[in-house]
Structure 1
Amino acid sequence: MKTVKIGGVPEHFNLAWYLTLKNGEYKDEGINLRWKDYFGGTGQMCTALRDGEIDLAVILTEGIVKDIIDGNPSTIVQTFVASPLIWGIHVAEHSNYKTVEDLKGTKAAISRYGSGSHLMAYINAQNNNWDLDKDLNFEVIKNLDGAVEGLTNEKADYFMWEKFTTKPLVDDGTFRRVANCPSPWPCFVIAVRTEFLENNKEDVQTILNIINNTTKEFKDIPSIDKSIANRYDQKLEDVQEWLSLTEWSQDVMDEKTVANVQEKLFDLDIISEKWEYNKLITKL
């Protein structure tokens, strides 16, 4: 049986992977798919792909595009979630900051450089016409637990993370959300180490076929909202709102979208050059 290692964030977006693993669908096809949770998010997964710790990653679009251009020997084979990610902009409950404008020039907590929380801080700054050199400062906090500590102890002033994941921390009075910042593109893609793909193309295609069959009908799974609420400690109404906003994809990202991602990252000086479509995307 072929062992394949895959990584992703331990969030509700990836429940379809858990369900297909639990059902033994990959093993039925001769694939021992081993899932690993990455609490540090996209930056941590980029490192894992580079080091060969995992073969595939379910990863934020902007983070993997930047890292491939920076030398990560991987390629994007499919969009996983077609809808934008809604990033909540959070401060500590006791913070004096009330609006996004109050945060201009303060310190953003980020999981690591090159992560979604880092790159989206630039998107938020541009949206609000901040000076990208003067008005952005960063404190690396590794993960969500680190953000709680960092904001509570005033090591950093605000933190951007997926709004539904952090909603329980808003509800219990740890964080206060001052605004939302949707990503300007489909949020999650599936990336594969290029060397692994070259040698295991049929296995990768089989994995995609299995997960796509589940995501196509994910919202129709009986009581899926209750399952998500229980598993991820979410309020049922929050899960129902999230499901209404989220669309999974079974397709390859098109050239226009890839160009848009690169244009935005280039304008923000996050990438130093723009690449041709087929150097970032592989159609199976």
Structure 2
Amino acid sequence: MVLRVGYIREHFSSPLLQFADDDAGKTFVLVECPSGTGQLISRLTNDEIDVAIATTDPLISGIAKGSNAYKLVGVYVSTPLNWAVISGYESKYQSIQDLKDSTIGISRLGSGSQTMAYVMAMQQGWPSENMKFQINNDIRGLIDSTNDGTTSAFMWEWFTTKPFVDKKECRFIGSVPTPWPSWLVAAQPKTPAEDIKQFLASLSGYVSAFDLPENRASKDVEFIKSRFGYPEEDIVAWLKTVGYPQNCLSLDAKIVTDTLAALEKAGVVTPPAGGFKVTDFVDTAVATLV
């Protein structure tokens, strides 16, 4: 089976892209999802992809809200994601505190941009039920909405947004790092477990190679520069903040429980009677729970 692997074309995907360059469609094909994790979840649900590499919180909140379209099968990035809070270049909003009771731009319902807006509200002490959102699909639509005044701000990964800030299309007004490891792997339950395990075992090799100090010092920088066009200083700064797992198939149960605890506090999910069970979230025929 040739797996259809959904991904977001960002610098985080570099080890996956290196794997794809070598694999050349033999065991998997990449399906780009520019709108983010909300789009990845939608494509899993609609049987348009078999596997998704996506941000942790929307994946977990989707299952917590009753989705049976996918389960967690592995880990891709072990460090938090630094979400930038971005407003229009000439907007009146100067800080996170200014955003209270305003309309926040999001890519899709259930996306990381929405989940993290709830986390931001929790940190600020704002009632989550008062949050107002406008769907703007992708980063271009999100930036435009902050500049035409239909939204106050939006949230997106810091270094992905920085080129637009450098071009003075928008402004950073704050940041909210995730209180959990940032990227997980999910798959449709009907996808053969052995195919997923083979894919993730091979991906682990590329992740481990990318994580080597000697590759971080040169090869990784050159790859990201050539593939994404980011300035070298931004790539070097990002590499200092990101960590990858040694084994993508090993999933710490605390990732699930800690993320659920934070999402509950933010009002994103409500536990069922008896609480959540980690095994409802993880396909243990693929991933090893530790």
TM-score between the two structures when normalised by the length of structure 1: 0.93
Q: Which stretch of the first structure deviates more once superposed, 52-61 or 13-22? A: 13-22
Q: Judge conservation of contact 2:189–2:283 (CA < 8 Å) in 1.
A: no
The residue type paired with residue 117 of structure 2 is A
Q: Which stretch shows the higher mean deviation, 147-156 or 186-195?
A: 147-156
Structure 2 counterpart of 1:164: 159
Distance 1:82 1:264 in 2: 17
Q: Tell me whether 1:59 sits opposite 2:54 in the alignment.
A: yes
CA drift at 1:257: 2.4
Question: 2:15 corresponds to which residue?
Answer: 16
Amino acid across the alignment from 1:186: P
Letter in 2 for 1:253: L
Contiguous gaps of at least 5 residues in structure 2: none
Q: What are the superposed Cα offsets for residues 116-140 of structure 1, whole Å, 9 maximum, x if unpaired?
A: 0000001011111112223x21110
* 1:127-169: CA deviation from partner (whole Å, max 9, x where unpaired): 11112223x2111001111112211211111010000000000
| Identity %, equivalent residues | 26
Whether 1:37 and 2:32 are equivalent positions in the alignment is yes
Q: d(CA) in 2 for partners of 1:187 and 1:207?
A: 20
**Secondary structure, counterpart of 1:146 in structure 2:** helix
How far does residue 25 in structure 1 lie from its aligned partner after superposition? 7.2
2:203 paired residue among 196, 204, 211: 211
Q: Which residue of 2 aligns with 1:237?
A: 233
Amino acid aligned to 1:56: V
Q: RMSD in angstroms over aligned alpha carbons?
A: 1.4
Deviations 1:237-275 (A, max 9, x none): 111111111001224332222111111112222122242
Equivalent residues in 2 for 1:145-224, closer than 5 Å? 145-196=140-191, 200-219=192-211, 220-221=214-215, 222-224=218-220
**Contact kept? 2:128, 2:267, Cα under 8 Å:** no
Q: Give structure 1 stretches of 5+ with no counterpart.
A: none
* TM-score (norm: length of structure 2): 0.91
Instruction: Determine which of 97, 104, 128 is the counterpart of 2:100.
Output: 104
Displacement of 1:77: 1.1
Q: Aligned pairs, how many?
A: 275
How far apart in 1 are the matches of 2:220 and 2:33? 23
Specify the code of the residue in structure 1 equivalent to 2:54.
Answer: I
25 and 233 in structure 1: CA distance in 2 versus 1, 3 angstrom threshold: closer
